[in-house]
Structure 1
């Protein structure tokens, strides 16, 4: 997987978040990526990067502990798909119906 994929997934989450988040990066060891029938999926947790604002710190504190899932359908670009519940299900990403079951199995149910 290219660094561009991580950057595009990060940008997709940052744009849809309220407030928008620009000082975030995927948490090391939590980025999952794969495809099913020509559609790409990704999942990750995010952490703050230097320069984050107080608003970003509060937003990520409230929502940052859970996995976020994204989809890239042909011609659409990456968009936010779903989040884990809080606390996360013991089933991991297998509990997220939008993630194809064979991908969650390959991703070890998103458990690092």
Structure 2
């Protein structure tokens, strides 16, 4: 399995970035959270008992295309297989895309350890959006 990784965070845990023409950071709704989680489950059907890690979810759009970055963790009820596999997969941020009116699809994973420039190193994420997300940096 090929991985490409960057930690992620929610917009409420960091300073609001300056607006970037064509792309913008958005607040993550419960519907976006659930839709992106379903897309991850479709791409990785082994993971049933998962949820996004708090403060490691980014969401935004460039034109009519929406993008998300999330890191996932196992939840109550996870099987031994899920827990073991989540040790590797859970450590890497996942990236998703949804064209206007379409379902979310999985498009990439970050590496572990994270890429030096976070989501700015993920070619599937527009540079302007990665910049709006602060390259998916997580405050500690």
Higher-RCO chain (CA-CA 8 Å, sequence separation at least 6): 2
Unaligned runs of 5+ in 2: 1-27
Give the TM-score, by structure 2 length: 0.76
The alignment status of 1:7 with 2:20, answered yes or no, reads no
User: Which position in structure 2 is the counterpart of 1:46?
Assistant: 72
Instruction: Give me the whole-angstrom Cα distance separating, in 2, the residues matched to 1:54 and 1:68.
Output: 22
Q: 1:76: Cα distance to partner?
A: 2.3
Instruction: Give me the whole-angstrom Cα distance separating, in 1, the residues matched to 2:58 and 2:126.
Output: 13
Q: 1:75: Cα distance to partner?
A: 3.0
Which moved further from structure 2: 26-35 or 54-63? 54-63
Contact 1:18 1:59 in 2 (8 A): no
Instruction: Provide the aligned length of Structure 1 versus Structure 2.
Output: 111
Show CA shifts across 1:54-90 (max 9, x none).
Answer: 1111121121101100000123200101010122111
Instruction: Give me the whole-angstrom Cα distance separating, in 1, the residues matched to 2:49 and 2:81.
Output: 11
Give the TM-score, by structure 1 length: 0.94
Q: Which of 85, 92, 98 lines up with 2:111 in the alignment?
A: 85
DSSP-derived class of the 1:28 partner: strand
Report runs of 4+ in structure 1 exceeding 2 Å deviation: none
DSSP-derived class of the 2:104 partner: strand
User: Which position in structure 2 is the counterpart of 1:59?
Assistant: 85
User: Which position in structure 1 is the counterpart of 2:59?
Assistant: 33
Instruction: Give me the whole-angstrom Cα distance separating, in 1, the residues matched to 2:29 and 2:122.
Output: 25
